[in-house]
Structure 1
Amino acid sequence: MGSETTERNDTLLGNGVIGILAETVNMWERRAPLTPSHCARLVLGGGKRESGVNRIIVQPSTKRIHHDAQYEDAGCEISEDLSECGLIVGIKQPKLEMILPDRAYAFFSHTHKAQKENMPLLDKIMEERVSLFDYELIVDDDGKRMLAFGKFAGRAGLIDFLHGLGQRYLSLGYSTPFLSLGQSHMYPSLAAAKAAVIAIGEEIATYGLPSGICPIVFAFTGSGNVSQGAQEIFKLLPHTFVDADKLPELSAGKSLPPHHQSTRRAFQLYGCVVTSKDMVAPKDPSRCFDKADYYAHPEHYRPVFHERIAPYASAIVNCMYWERRFPRLLSIDQLQQLMKNGCPLVGISDITCDIGGSIEFVNRSTSIERPFFRYDTSTNLYHDDMEGDGVICLAVDILPTEFSREASQHFGDILSRFVTSLASAKGLLELPSHLRRACIAYAGKLTPLYEYIPRMRKTMIELPPTPANSLPDKKYTTLVSLCGHLFDKFLINEALDIIETAGGSFHLVKCDVGQSIDDMSYSELEVGADDTTTLDKIIDSLTSIANAHRGDPNAAEISLKIGRVSECGIDDSMDKVGPKVLILGAGRVCRPAAEFLTSYQNIDQVHVVVASLYQKDAEETVDGIKNATAAQLDVSDTESLSNLVSQVDVVVSLLPASFHAAIARVCIELKKHLVTASYVDDSMSKLEQAAQGAGVTILCEMGLDPGIDHMLSMKMIDEAHAQNGKIKAFTSFCGGLPSPAAANNPLAYKFSWSPAGAIRAGRNPAVYKFLGETINVDGKLVSYLFNCPEKGSTFQ
């Protein structure tokens, strides 16, 4: 039986017979991998001797963009039965029962990242001894994907968004030319859709747009095919592109007298192409943005899109690839605050359709028949209509099929170049390198490049998803972070071999696989061993492969980070009885605070967690302090912050005041008390009612002034009262104030760690008692006299 199977397999693979699948996954999927014209050239253009293709059998479909009769006219056979085909091609993955044994298949499988939802498909491929080629993995010599629909997604995504924008503006009380534009699939061709866009552009140029919604600014993220396709449609409208730094100036230009606001109209749109330098900024203000450094060390950067771009955008067209190790483009908190501040944002076209990705509130995909949902930022609720508060969002994951005819032609033009090799090759080695690299499995076995998939599956599926007890059988563990060309250069396999050969084990904490050779991949592995000698050996070996590639001028650099070794698996000290305190920030104030809390004898043993942006700083701070542990944390990552806060009783923030409102909101949500060491501003004051409702204490200004000043003052006053003394008067000078004789400048200050902060605090209202009378000082008066610039601006 085995020999018969082998003979049949040998006969089928490379037999020159191609099968074209009928698409069954989605009602709207009308694309085809090869059009009738492509098939005609392959079958009729000299036959197998010329093209390597002998026959093409097409499964019948009444919804495919090209009719069965057209394929018949091109020399194809129409049949449900593809059993005679050695190569079967499609667009989307077929139903499992449609997969025939001992064949080669080519389609978008979405399995190479060990995507959980598609592992049954991969299991079926292995079970049926199938050879699987994935279009997504076919790249040219420069590492760019050869088979993709990106531009069509961008084109359809923007046209559909303009269609919805017209409806949304109408619900807000504005009639615009966008209202007459249909969705992409409503036009017989891309050319017809473009003509419709040009027509509304002419109407805008002639009659203008209502001044109440102008300037209308479209912010495009990314510079790849998707963004290019969206911009191609946008450029059909009257427009001007502006740089990101000109957006505030453009927005300021809409300040007109009321009469002009009601009558003047704008005759063009504005576009802004946003790159990574406009989305993030170094956390260290002394450093400049560096793209290479950002991709290698995204933890060194903070998001600024919500500060520099979003406040001026009417529409955001999201076309960028994103991984979870990078800051989000727009978090829920940031969007909610933007809308509270009166941001003109009307809607978002998330063409990437990255659920829970770079735009956090996008928690679902939409369909072509219902392409939009509305997110109400004030209530955090989602709606399917266009009327009401909030922003609209398009998140369709099958946009290219709206231009099925042109998309199929484009795709087939490229696929037909090498489908002949796939159809005629008897073995994997007969194929060119770019096709071999795209072969996930051959004859039911994973090819060497993709042998990491079962390892990833094992650690993601069989082991618990959370770090706790992830390697319970290993006494010593450490976190290893790898960044580089891990998957296309076999390096992930090499790393896992090192761990397992040495007798260690691993748990995959995080994995982001780059989309092409140009994209870095990133993995976090928790590595465990029974003794420190074995773990040290593993670490040394991993360091060696990283250093070896770093020294090779022809190899891409690999970034390797090793965390602190923990005994007994993940440090279980957080589970000990006693209060737990999280200290945010590892500056000079932190260590004395940690030492004091862990040595405090009046209550049960306190456990302290010191969290810092840089793991090394946190580790140095807690070094030698019993019951204190270190953690790496970016407080702008709300999910990570919430995870850490949820494990403690009290949070102490030693970070700058600008971080405290976001931290406080997390503490209120999780009902955790918060202590800060900096002044209260309006954003914190507004949280008082929410804190009271949650039963949470937020104790602010517990630094030097007024914190220590007030405490020492009360200590002195209490001591006086204990001795039956009477306080007649009390005056306190604290901070950087010199003696009156030396106060020879307008501010009377000689030293301040933050002059701008001191002046802003001086603008707050004040209450004091003088000669028995309570004196109230209105902060508005001081604010009027001292209009201090915010952080980041020039202070003189």
Structure 2
Amino acid sequence: MVAIRRSPFSLRGLSRSACSRAFYTSTRRETEVTIGIRREDPGRIWERRCPLTPEAVNKLVSEHDVEVLIQDCERRVWRTSEYLKAGAKVHDTLEPAHIVLGIKETPLSELLTSSIPGPASHVGGPQQLPRMHVMFSHTIKGQLYNMELLSKFLAEYHAPGDSRPRGSLPWLIDYELLLNPDGKRSVSFGWYAGVAGVLEALNALAHTHLELGVASPLLYTPRPHTYPDLESIMTVMRDRVFGVIQSEGFPAGVGPLVIGITGKGRVTEGTRHVLDQLPNVEYVSVDRLQSLVYVVHALPEHYLQRRDGGRYSRDDYYVNPDAYEAHFHTKIAPYLSLLLNGVGWSPGFPRLMTNAQLRETLEVTLNMGARGKGRFACVGDISCDVQGGLEFLPSPSTLSEPFFRARPEGLPAHLPGVTMMAVDILPSALPREASQHFSSRLMPYLTALIESRRSRGQGVDNEKLGAVMKAVVARDGVLAEQHRWLQTPLGIWKASKEAGAANIGAGVVPKKKVLMLGSGMVAGPAVDEICKRSDVRLVIASNSLAEATRLATDRANAIPLLLDISNKDAVERLIEEADVIISLLPAPLHPPVADLCIQHKKHLVTASYISPAMRSLHERAIAADVLLLNEIGLDPGIDHCSALSLIDSLREQKKEIVSFTSFCGGLPAPEHAEGIPLGYKFSWSPKGVLTALSNDARFRLNDKKYHLEHDELLTHYFPDVPLSDVLKFEGVPNRDSLSYASVYGLHSLQQLRTLLRGTLRYPGFCRLMGMFKAIGLFESQVPIQLSDWSSLARQALEHRLGTLIMDDAASIRSAFADLIPDASDCETLLDALHWLSLIPSSVVGASSGTTQDSSGQLPLIPTHGTPPIDLFAALLAHKLRFQPAERDLVVLAHEIVARPASAATGADEEVHRSSLIAYGNESASAMAKCVGLPVAFAALQVLDGKVKGRGVQGPTEREVYTHILGRLEEAGLGMKESVHKQTGSSVEVTLAQHMEGGYRV
């Protein structure tokens, strides 16, 4: 039986009030200063550090005549009993303390803001002194999530009626600002962050290697917080990790192991302490990165360059940071297995890597072939500046879950993202040694501050006291001069807090609040429109704070917020505080959001099709008096609104509708469609496009009902849809057109001659897609394993034909010719496959009419068997994506044939046309405007209580679609309408001629 001996000073079994009575009784003398040591935030379960050791406390009590109070905490690295033996006293609230010390920021509920009696002044009697809080406040870079904490130290944010003099308000002192005379931080945990950070990052890298199919010796790297001290950790590293690497080498599948480190301070020193013990470690310069290397120490002069081409100068850089840009993503990142980032970042300075640069780096690694496997797959961000030096760091990680996969918004699906280790309390993994170091560095500053607060202030170290004064963020109710710029993030926070009301005129009028979930490509026009309303407050909640902040810039009534959509509590809280919710999230996420809207009786607006899951919420939404308005973008959206409006107009004219055709397409502008296969670029999921081309289609055309099976769709397309005298289009029937007879309130199908909805493409799209499908690239069931992209078409065709095709040019050409007997079509197919890198160059030969795509960078090939359709979609997403300078085009056209309702069949008919042609520009794409603006118009209409419908709805009520169309007209996106007599040249007639002629490709 094992007996656990209790300390005679154990506080177990005593209530906190009993602890206070037992160990604290005020005996303050005039010369005495009281120090308080906080327990850290209970929510930070791994935070075990303490700013002062028991030895330091004993010195303060015995040598400096200081009273030390400490809050009881059983998680702290030293037990409370050890502090009691050192001379401290337990106190529950620390209310008597003049100076309150903690490590991380104080929870708002525990922050002491009252003043406190101090030593007697020279005029006699005790003076009221402001309390001083010393901590890593995480406010000095404008962190929005801590602006409320900062506001507690500022007079302008105090409640009305608070009559305290400014001099009695608390001070905020930040450890991060305590500097040596040489300008370097003097009180920090940096060395221990570096040691713990490299260990955690090696663990994350080992996990990343497992995902790549390789078990490396790094799997045995110890988690630092599970060992009692650093010596025991390094013993394990030498025996179980470095020893295995020494004897067996590093796995060739992800080798060589290339580690990059940044920074020049204590973080880097701690990092190198571990890395220096790697066997056969070699430190190399940046210019040798393309050879076999292990560790590279990248300094600013290696990757920073003036925008005008000038070289890096440290003095010039700190004076003119905006004149510099980082090239880390091209010079260094693509060659690294692991980046250990120890360099700090501040607003106004160039980032080490942006989101866009991450994308470039990952593209480069994919193009490196086998050499690129495992490159830039893992980052240990020891500095942990959220969306700072590494913009793609969305949030810190924890010791419980130390790493995660980061995928910034807009990263293409074929790019794998990067594993991030970004624990924000790394030194707490080594709590005893880290606290001992920190305490020893803090003591000289603390004693200087203590002596300065005594009545006579004798024996003060003025150098140390001056450093403390420079570390003050706020004093006497105002920000220190160098921190006045924090008024901007404080203003954003304040606006968020005051979202419920705004001063308008002489009174206070409640502001209406719209919550936008997501900040994707269509958000910009919606934000612009909503923020035109001064009586509306818009909260933009996104997984990219940088993107949300960009959208909110220069808009006083927009508030950017960082949101993890998987955090249901956070999402629910935001929904509860809003009046109307806009969801720009991926379509599968709409139903869970809608469910929360029903629970909190809030209206929802989305641009997506009504899914079965959304439809199932209809009755619950009606019971809750909630509107879930969907299909209010472009297609679906504007197409519904304009069709219903035209149909209404014809009915009012006593016209009978006998034919309805509608086509819509989002395309690249003609100048950006030339010279590329399909004449198309993808603004949404390529697999979604391919899947749509594999659906059945039902429609009615010239009194005949058609049902095309999925394998007939691309052989029964319409090669000429006559919508423009300038642009040529072809069309594909779009799923089930017949269901729209009821949606649009048309006659029964027997009374309609034509009912057809279709999708527009440039000529050649369907023919080429049909051939892609014919050779097996749409296969979704049978997985194949690629060795390189140029074998995809051959392997897909092998499965399609059920026979082996030799891997030589003649055999491949012969196999394709057997399936595509028309020689011209076969050459077109082979040229397109070559451009897409799906067949070897030798197959097309020197006489090919097209040139292979020159980008040269291809997606990573999956390491496991994958169906051809998924491989094909990944490659299309990469090859046929819009570039930043390219513009898009939206075309929407309805044609309705009508005649007088009382007229007999065969009477003169009129062709009514309604169309929209819109191009994107540098401010927004056409798709963004055509989706974002209707969403905004609808949301504001719902917000104003002008939509009476409830339940799951589309824009089929007149009050909705007439309003949307009117607002689109004002925005320059109005539908153009015309009418003429039926002459045989209508869209309906042209399409019918193709079908009746048995048109097949």
Relative to the length of structure 1, the TM-score reads 0.52
Kept in 2, the 8 Å contact 1:197–1:237? The answer is no
Deviation at 1:180, TM superposition (A): 1.5
Kept in 2, the 8 Å contact 1:138–1:434? The answer is yes
Match of 1:391 in 2: 418
Match of 2:298 in 1: 274
Kept in 2, the 8 Å contact 1:371–1:394? The answer is yes
Q: Please give the per-residue CA displacement for 1:406-434, whole angstroms capped at 9, x wherever unaligned.
A: 11101100111122232343379956211
Give runs of aligned pairs for residues 499-514 of structure 1, distance below 5 A: none
Q: Aligned pair in 2 of structure 1 residues 276, 688: CA closer, same or farther (>3 Å)?
A: farther
Give the one of 276, 282, 295 matched to 1:240. 282
Q: Aligned pair in 2 of structure 1 residues 124, 307: CA closer, same or farther (>3 Å)?
A: closer
AA aligned opposite 2:136: F
RMSD of Structure 2 on Structure 1 (CA): 4.3
Kept in 2, the 8 Å contact 1:375–1:381? The answer is no
AA aligned opposite 2:66: N
Deviation at 1:691, TM superposition (A): 6.5
Q: Distance in 2 between matches of 1:378 and 1:87?
A: 44
Match of 1:703 in 2: none
Kept in 1, the 8 Å contact 2:304–2:324? The answer is yes
* Matched residue SS, 2:289: helix
Q: Please give the per-residue CA displacement for 1:579-603, whole angstroms capped at 9, x wherever unaligned.
A: xxxxxxxxxxxxxxxxxxxxxxxxx
AA aligned opposite 1:314: S
* Matched residue SS, 1:173: coil
AA aligned opposite 2:149: L
Residue 211 (structure 1) aligned with residue 252 (structure 2)? yes
Kept in 1, the 8 Å contact 2:668–2:681? The answer is no
Give the one of 152, 155, 161 matched to 2:192. 152
Q: Distance in 2 between matches of 1:12 and 1:437?
A: 29
Give the one of 174, 178, 182 matched to 1:138. 178
Match of 2:338 in 1: 315
Match of 1:417 in 2: 444
Q: Distance in 1 between matches of 2:183 and 2:227?
A: 34
Residue 440 (structure 1) aligned with residue 473 (structure 2)? yes
Residue 68 (structure 1) aligned with residue 52 (structure 2)? no
* Matched residue SS, 1:425: helix
Q: Distance in 2 between matches of 1:693 and 1:144?
A: 49
Kept in 1, the 8 Å contact 2:33–2:67? The answer is yes
Match of 1:306 in 2: 329
AA aligned opposite 2:297: V
Q: Distance in 2 between matches of 1:75 and 1:156?
A: 32
Deviation at 1:674, TM superposition (A): 9.0
Match of 1:21 in 2: 38
AA aligned opposite 1:160: E
Match of 2:484 in 1: 452
Q: Distance in 2 between matches of 1:428 and 1:392?
A: 55
AA aligned opposite 2:229: S
Deviation at 1:16, TM superposition (A): 2.2
Percent sequence identity over matched residues? 29
* Matched residue SS, 1:204: helix
Relative to the length of structure 2, the TM-score reads 0.42
Kept in 2, the 8 Å contact 1:32–1:64? The answer is yes
Kept in 2, the 8 Å contact 1:13–1:86? The answer is no
Q: Please give the per-residue CA displacement for 1:612-634, whole angstroms capped at 9, x wherever unaligned.
A: xxxxxxxxxxxxxxxxxxxxxxx
Deviation at 1:177, TM superposition (A): 1.8
Give runs of aligned pairs for residues 112-511 of structure 1, distance below 5 A: 112-126=140-154, 129-199=169-239, 200-238=241-279, 239-250=281-292, 270-284=294-308, 287-298=310-321, 300-323=323-346, 325=348, 326-330=350-354, 331-341=357-367, 342=369, 343=372, 344-345=374-375, 346-375=377-406, 380=411, 390-426=417-453, 432-442=465-475, 444-446=476-478, 448-449=480-481, 452=484, 455-456=487-488, 460=492
Deviation at 1:118, TM superposition (A): 2.4
Kept in 2, the 8 Å contact 1:154–1:351? The answer is yes
* Matched residue SS, 2:46: coil
Q: Distance in 2 between matches of 1:689 and 1:376?
A: 22
Match of 2:53 in 1: 35
Deviation at 1:17, TM superposition (A): 1.9
Q: Distance in 1 between matches of 2:145 and 2:474?
A: 18
Give runs of aligned pairs for residues 391-790 of structure 1, distance below 5 A: 391-426=418-453, 432-442=465-475, 444-446=476-478, 448-449=480-481, 452=484, 455-456=487-488, 460=492, 673=669, 689-690=681-682, 776=847
Deviation at 1:374, TM superposition (A): 2.3
Kept in 2, the 8 Å contact 1:283–1:300? The answer is yes
Deviation at 1:65, TM superposition (A): 0.3
Residue 104 (structure 1) aligned with residue 132 (structure 2)? yes
AA aligned opposite 2:380: S
AA aligned opposite 2:58: A
Kept in 1, the 8 Å contact 2:33–2:453? The answer is no
Match of 1:58 in 2: 70
Q: Distance in 1 between matches of 2:485 and 2:266?
A: 28
Q: Aligned pair in 2 of structure 1 residues 454, 429: CA closer, same or farther (>3 Å)?
A: farther
Kept in 1, the 8 Å contact 2:286–2:296? The answer is yes
Kept in 1, the 8 Å contact 2:305–2:325? The answer is yes
Q: Distance in 2 between matches of 1:397 and 1:382?
A: 29
Q: Aligned pair in 2 of structure 1 residues 12, 424: CA closer, same or farther (>3 Å)?
A: farther
Q: Distance in 2 between matches of 1:352 and 1:412?
A: 21
Q: Please give the per-residue CA displacement for 1:232-256, whole angstroms capped at 9, x wherever unaligned.
A: 2111211111111111132xxxxxx
Deviation at 1:131, TM superposition (A): 2.8
Q: Aligned pair in 2 of structure 1 residues 779, 245: CA closer, same or farther (>3 Å)?
A: farther
* Matched residue SS, 1:219: strand
Q: Please give the per-residue CA displacement for 1:486-532, whole angstroms capped at 9, x wherever unaligned.
A: xxxxxxxxxxxxxxxxxxxxxxxxxxxxxxxxxxxxxxx99xxxxxx
Q: Aligned pair in 2 of structure 1 residues 191, 673: CA closer, same or farther (>3 Å)?
A: farther
Unaligned runs of 5+ in 1: 1-10, 251-268, 465-524, 527-669, 695-763, 766-774, 784-796
Q: Aligned pair in 2 of structure 1 residues 309, 692: CA closer, same or farther (>3 Å)?
A: same
Q: Aligned pair in 2 of structure 1 residues 137, 391: CA closer, same or farther (>3 Å)?
A: closer
Q: Distance in 1 between matches of 2:171 and 2:136?
A: 14
Q: Aligned pair in 2 of structure 1 residues 313, 283: CA closer, same or farther (>3 Å)?
A: same
AA aligned opposite 1:425: S
Q: Distance in 2 between matches of 1:233 and 1:157?
A: 10
Q: Distance in 2 between matches of 1:355 and 1:320?
A: 13
AA aligned opposite 2:79: H
Q: Distance in 2 between matches of 1:313 and 1:448?
A: 41
Q: Distance in 2 between matches of 1:148 and 1:137?
A: 10
Match of 2:950 in 1: none
Q: Distance in 2 between matches of 1:159 and 1:33?
A: 24
Unaligned runs of 5+ in 2: 1-27, 116-130, 159-167, 497-552, 555-665, 687-834, 837-845, 855-1001
Q: Distance in 1 between matches of 2:382 and 2:270?
A: 11
* Matched residue SS, 1:146: coil
Q: Distance in 2 between matches of 1:364 and 1:454?
A: 21
Q: Distance in 2 between matches of 1:289 and 1:457?
A: 31
Give the one of 78, 81, 91 matched to 1:79. 91
Deviation at 1:291, TM superposition (A): 4.3
AA aligned opposite 2:34: V
Match of 1:259 in 2: none
AA aligned opposite 2:441: I
Q: Aligned pair in 2 of structure 1 residues 334, 359: CA closer, same or farther (>3 Å)?
A: farther
Q: Aligned pair in 2 of structure 1 residues 13, 693: CA closer, same or farther (>3 Å)?
A: farther
Deviation at 1:271, TM superposition (A): 0.2
* Matched residue SS, 2:103: strand
AA aligned opposite 2:73: S
Deviation at 1:86, TM superposition (A): 2.0
Kept in 1, the 8 Å contact 2:68–2:89? The answer is yes
